[in-house]
């Protein structure tokens, strides 16, 4: 049977690539160290497959068809389409269609209704963390795109439930794989709004604190605060998927720092693996 190899989270703002050399040295060093630490932990977990939970930044979908959830079930995925992501070495990214279709079947049997894609473009949302973590070898990738870009979006509670569903699907898959989950995006930032560039550090720190206390208080807080904390902050949904996969337990902050140069409250986290049979 497959086993759950851990959950992780990381920010992914485009300026982490495009303005990297403009980031002050002390902040750049902390960002490098945080990505490297996630990479070290991920390598130590030895996953065969990595489920990457990210939004789609208009690379696969537009307003004429923007699914709430889309699962990549193809044997391969395309590398990022953004020209400034050309340094990302992987242009053809292997998937794991058998596990992905098992997740899809488990989802449908449990009343979840994801869209499916057999050929998906993985944009900067997925690929900046994969690039910055310094992974010499990519695990096979199963992308899960969660709409945090354009309302209506899946509810916060449903995103957490998606995480618990992923855990059930992983642990019921018959092949002896090790499967990890990474949620990418957030924390607070504002793009194309009158508040563009704002970072809400107090919101970020309270969100981080509440990740350490389960899910109910966290979801209540986010429901109240997200509408006024910048549109990019909606990407915390992807962290909730990782949180659900970890059973809402074991959250550990790797680092958090607001970085005005990249206009993102940059967060990095990992969850200590827990036995899903324990309460």
**Domain locations in the chain as residue ranges:** 3-271
Would the CA dihedral through 16, 270, 195, 260 be positive or negative?
negative
- The number of beta carbons lying within 10 Å of the beta carbon of residue 276 is 14
Residues in the chain: 279
Mean pLDDT of 31-49: 97
In angstroms, rounded to a whole number, what is the distance separating the alpha carbons of residues 113 and 120? 18
**Is residue 58 predicted with pLDDT exceeding 90?**
no
pLDDT at 234 over 80: yes
CA torsion, points 82, 88, 92, 96, in degrees to nearest 10? -110
Task: State how far the Cα of 211 lies from the Cα of 218, in Å rounded to an integer.
Answer: 6
- 124 alpha-carbon distance from chain centroid: 11
Degrees, nearest 5: CA angle 16-207-194: 60
Percent share of the chain, pLDDT over 90: 84
Distance from CA of residue 271 to its chain's centroid? 13
**Domain 3-271 fold:** Protocatechuate 4,5-dioxygenase; Chain B (3.40.830)
Q: Tell me the pLDDT band of 56, cut-offs 50, 70 and 90.
A: very high
Contact 187, 201 (CB under 8 A): no
pLDDT at 278: 47
- Quick check: 275 pLDDT over 70? no
Q: How confident is the model at residue 279 (pLDDT cuts 50, 70, 90)?
A: very low
Lowest mean pLDDT among 29-38, 84-93, 146-155, 179-188: 84-93
Q: Are 215 and 248 in contact (CB under 8 A)?
A: yes
- Give the whole-angstrom CA distance, residue 97 versus residue 87: 26
> How confident is residue 274, by pLDDT bands cut at 50, 70 and 90?
low
Q: Answer whether residue 67 shows pLDDT above 90.
A: yes
Buried b (16+ CB within 10 A) or exposed e, 92-103: ebebbbebbebb
pLDDT at res. 117: 97
Residues marked active site are found at 124, 189
């Amino acid at each position: 049977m497959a086993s759950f190899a851990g959950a992780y989270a990381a920010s992914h703002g485009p300026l982490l690539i495009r303005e990297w050399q403009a980031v002050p040295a002390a902040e750049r060093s902390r960002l490098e160290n945080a990505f490297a630490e996630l990479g070290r932990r991920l390598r130590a977990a030895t996953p065969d497959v990595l489920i990457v939970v990210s939004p789609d930044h208009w690379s696969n979908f537009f307003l004429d068809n923007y699914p709430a959830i889309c699962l990549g079930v193809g044997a391969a995925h395309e590398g990022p389409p953004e020209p400034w992501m050309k340094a990302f070495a992987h242009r053809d990214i292997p998937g794991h269609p058998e596990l992905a279709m098992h997740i899809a079947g488990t989802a449908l049997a449990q009343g979840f209704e994801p869209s499916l894609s057999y050929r998906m473009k993985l944009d900067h949302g997925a690929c900046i963390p994969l690039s910055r973590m310094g992974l010499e070898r990519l695990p096979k990738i199963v992308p899960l795109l969660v709409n945090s870009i354009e309302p209506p979006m899946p509810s916060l509670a449903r995103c957490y439930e998606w995480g618990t569903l992923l855990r059930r699907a992983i642990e019921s898959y018959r092949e002896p794989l090790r499967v990890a989950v990474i949620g990418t995006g957030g924390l607070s930032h504002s793009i194309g709004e009158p508040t563009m560039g704002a970072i809400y550090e107090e919101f970020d720190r309270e969100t981080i604190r509440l990740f350490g206390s389960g899910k109910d208080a966290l979801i209540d807080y986010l429901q109240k605060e997200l509408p006024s904390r910048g549109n990019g902050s909606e990407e915390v949904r992807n962290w909730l998927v990782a949180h659900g996969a970890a059973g809402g337990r074991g959250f550990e902050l790797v680092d958090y720092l607001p970085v005005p140069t990249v206009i993102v409250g940059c967060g990095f986290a990992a969850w200590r693996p827990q036995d899903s049979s324990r309460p």
